[in-house]
Structure 1
Amino acid sequence: MSESNNAALLERDHRHLVHSLHNEGVHLAGNVWVRGEGTELIDADGRRYVDAMSGLWNVTLGYGRPELVAAATRQMGELAYASGYAGSSNLQALALGERLAGLVYPNVNRFFFTSGGGESTDSTIKTARYYWKAMGRPGKHKTISLLGGYHGVTLAAMCATGMPAYWPAFEPRMTGFVHIPNHDVYRYPVSPGADPASAAADELERAILAEGPESVALFIAEPVMGGGAYVPPPGYFQRIRAICDKYDVLFAADEVITGFGRTGRLFALGHWGVQPDLVQFAKGITSGYVPLGGIGLSDKVAAVFDRPGADTWMHCYTYSGHPVACAVALAAIDVVQSEGLPARAEVLGSRMLAGLRAALGSHPHVGDVRGLGLIGAVELVEDRATKAGFDPARKIGPQVLAQMRARGVVTRGRGDTVYLGPALVSSEATVDRIVRTVAEAVHAVLPA
């Protein structure tokens, strides 16, 4: 390949495609990927990079898994597509539903499949509204979520997403969405002697009371927030569950990133012994090989679907329960279980965090290093004592990402926070290389 092949392809690409989070300057400085091997990506110029974000948190099993390729090929030859509308199903979809019922939370036994996380969020919101109408309480329609939380960018999902940068170009937003402060232990203001879990969780109770419990249908949150790798303080979700029960609010766990082993448990609320009313998933269910997502319904919620005379659930997707996607998901779950990947994510995640803290814990501009399992983040600040951030115009975070890329490691970040989400099949050497590269990049941009 010629030295300029990657740049030439990007120019061709730019003439005909619009990309997610489209930005011309960012895109033309990027890569055209042509191959993936294990935990590495290879671009059109033949350069190899460690993928420290495993795609977008989703390629949990790495690139080139023959089991997943074989499952897709076999299913395409047998039945490439079947409608998932009522009155039509397929063997792979029903097998996946049965499999998930034994893996998710004990109270979750019914599933609806989507093509990804944003569709799953919309499905969760619509299901909560359907549920309360069926229960004779149609006024309960509002959704509460966390500032900093990410739930996708389809219209309803964008309104639930608590990242204001996603809103202005598409406003006015839909009504009925409320955001509360998240549980970021590094920045949440807690009074001396107060319990951080209760203080942060009580934000939900205050919001419910302010809106009126008769109007609130749903609280949705990521067990570990992908947009920042915020890990809740112990007791947070137990208190959230109690508040939702007190005011008859459904609790949805957004496990699009955390599901299927990334945090050290198959599903992340298991760390705190809490069960949701709804759970949504995507990404790791197929290791990103084909698009698939979904929601799981608790027995309480699912019961309203089967009431005599119940209204038809007028919600549908053409590719819901796609047989090829479901076949790949079953193969991916086989790998996750047979290779013990949740336990491996716990071990590798501890190694990654310990390495980052050892390498950067004393750096004057590293404010926080946090994470759980293979979700991690390094937050950079101008002043450690005050936690004051850098002037955004300095683009400190993007400079660090560029330094990492120059050293052969690619990942993502937001503002001056660097995100890390390696594949669950990463080697110890790969994790150590990622840690070393982050440290080198930080020191290159911000000499200690």
Structure 2
Amino acid sequence: MTLQQEPVTLTEAATDAKSHLAEAAKRHLVMNFTPASKYRDDELPVFVRGEHCSVFDENGRRFFDGLAGLFCVQLGYTHGAEVGEAVREQLATLPFQTTWSVTHPPAAKLAHKLAQLAPGDLNRVFFASGGGESNEAAIKLARQYHITKGHHTRYKFIARRVAYHGTSFGAMSLNGMTDVRKMFEPLMNGVRHAHNTKRYRRPEGETEQQFTDFLLGELESLIVQEGPDTIAAIIMEPLQNAGGSLTPPTGYFQGVRALCDKYGILMIADEVITGYGRLGSWFGSTHYGFQPDMITFAKGIASAYVPLGGVIASDHIIETVLDGPVGMFNHALTYGGHPVACAAALKNIEIMEREGVVENVAQLTPYLAEKLGEVRDKHKKIVGDLRGDGFHRSFELVTNHEAKRWETDPISAADFVGKHLNPALAEVGLLCRVAIDAEGNPLVQVSPPLVMTRDDIDELADLLDRAFATATREAGL
């Protein structure tokens, strides 16, 4: 199939391309985690422009981007020209160079800047192109660190149930999402999963301290059961995205850090989502007051304007590896530390600092919680829980509040989401993440651009209110 069969005028060509973009994508583009219906029967949105917290489709219709692209467009859609100018200058000066035994200004400057922003002695940066690559690199760095120290039995990793860490072989092995990993098993050997920090459905009357004690007790039991000398690292998101904005109880991460120190295990903070301001601090580990041995990052470092990720590791880890028999970190990526990507990230961070973007999140977090709380209270018929932190919030929907579950009668969760909630969100013009969690309940996640204002929060809450009202009414709930 071709989009253009014969010569046409510029105006006609633009119209023809516009009308066929969705068709071309359905025919030729294999999309990420996209169901078959989007290739066949469903309407496929084509977004062509962005501005502030909104994107516009090819018909000129505006949508409020309540998910910041995919938890990543920190600056929204207004600063692309400024970041683009930094990209243009870099392309004109040095469009590509590796970091294989050489360096270049953008990579050196960005590594230095990240060392200043990261907590403690996390001063060494390995660059990748995205979150999965970053977690893959962290796996290899942890393994090489322990091998260098002579701890050859330390090959296992502990992650959390329902957690998501990527789709490449090692990163997928860390995932606690059964449906994502099971068809590709067997995966990397030696990954175990502990409880996550979801409070909803915990025993009635359980205190926060009791919950923390339960989680840490189970984690230590798992370490002892597996053999402490077999565990290389524990990897956790400061706020767990999958499962719906799962926040840690008081003392949890401090307790995990203590267990890692006790048993000689490395602690990896997956900050692909929580890094670069999402929770109101530059890093989620700083926000929750704990010191990891590594931070993996991606997404927000360049507001996703260009692909970039990486690992920030402690001096001790890197020096140990460099002093080992191999004499280097035995890992490499052609695009790791790409000068254009690093230039974009430097400009992104410069704008974030200039505009006070991280401070904006911290300042407006209480107002966002208040307005979303009003939506929850107005729709108690279907909203069982609202949770999260900073600019990352999730509604868990239920029809049986006592059991905290979505019952199939009078309508299944899949039918409610597919036939009523998603169409209602499209009707009001709101982009957010809607999914059915591992326990069968619908989740609605909002994680908007970090430049959002009070007026934007009002609009976001209003759109959610209207969508919930329409979906509930149309579903007969």
Query: Which amino acid is 1:213 matched to?
Result: P
CA distance in structure 2 between the partners assigned to 1:36 and 1:260 by the alignment? 21
Segment drifting more, 281-290 vs 58-67: 58-67
Deviations 1:113-140 (A, max 9, x none): 0000000010111111011001100110
Query: Which amino acid is 2:87 matched to?
Result: A
Identity of aligned residues (%): 35
Q: Are 2:430 and 1:430 aligned?
A: no
Corresponding residue for 2:468? 442
CA distance in structure 2 between the partners assigned to 1:230 and 1:37 by the alignment? 30
Segment drifting more, 334-343 vs 116-125: 334-343
TM-score by length of 2: 0.89
Deviations 1:414-440 (A, max 9, x none): 211001011011122222111111122
Inter-CA distance 190–256: structure 2 relative to 1 (3 Å threshold): farther
**2:298–2:308 contact (8 Å) kept in structure 1:** yes
**2:148–2:325 contact (8 Å) kept in structure 1:** no
Corresponding residue for 1:249? 265
Deviations 1:223-274 (A, max 9, x none): 0112211111111111111111111111000111011111011111112321
CA RMSD of aligned residues (A): 2.0
Q: Are 2:224 and 1:209 aligned?
A: yes
CA distance in structure 1 between the partners assigned to 2:143 and 2:224 by the alignment? 19
Corresponding residue for 1:155? 169
Q: Where do residues 98-247 of structure 1 align in structure 2 (5 Å cutoff)?
A: 98-189=112-203, 192=206, 195-227=210-242, 228-247=244-263
Offset at residue 68 of structure 1 (A)? 0.7
The one of 17, 22, 44 equivalent to 2:29 is 17
Segment drifting more, 115-124 vs 6-15: 6-15
**1:347–1:373 contact (8 Å) kept in structure 2:** no
CA distance in structure 2 between the partners assigned to 1:256 and 1:324 by the alignment? 20
CA distance in structure 2 between the partners assigned to 1:17 and 1:390 by the alignment? 36
Q: Are 2:257 and 1:272 aligned?
A: no
Offset at residue 396 of structure 1 (A)? 2.8
Deviations 1:14-58 (A, max 9, x none): 211111113221354221111111211111222111111010011
CA distance in structure 2 between the partners assigned to 1:286 and 1:134 by the alignment? 33
Higher Cα Rg, which structure: 2
Query: Which amino acid is 1:126 matched to?
Result: K
Q: Are 2:364 and 1:348 aligned?
A: yes
Offset at residue 201 of structure 1 (A)? 2.8
Query: Which amino acid is 2:426 matched to?
Result: R
The one of 412, 415, 420 equivalent to 1:395 is 415
Inter-CA distance 134–188: structure 2 relative to 1 (3 Å threshold): farther
Count of residue pairs the alignment pairs up: 447
CA distance in structure 2 between the partners assigned to 1:26 and 1:319 by the alignment? 32
Inter-CA distance 233–308: structure 2 relative to 1 (3 Å threshold): closer
Deviations 1:359-390 (A, max 9, x none): 22251221111111100111101211211134
Q: Which runs of 5+ in 2 are unaligned?
A: 1-10, 437-441
Q: Are 2:57 and 1:43 aligned?
A: yes
The one of 402, 411, 425 equivalent to 1:385 is 402
Inter-CA distance 439–393: structure 2 relative to 1 (3 Å threshold): closer
Q: Are 2:447 and 1:421 aligned?
A: yes
Offset at residue 308 of structure 1 (A)? 5.8
Inter-CA distance 100–329: structure 2 relative to 1 (3 Å threshold): same
SS at structure 1 position matched to 2:117? coil
The one of 20, 25, 28 equivalent to 1:8 is 20
Deviations 1:181-218 (A, max 9, x none): 10111134577456212212332212111211111111
Q: Which runs of 5+ in 1 are unaligned?
A: none
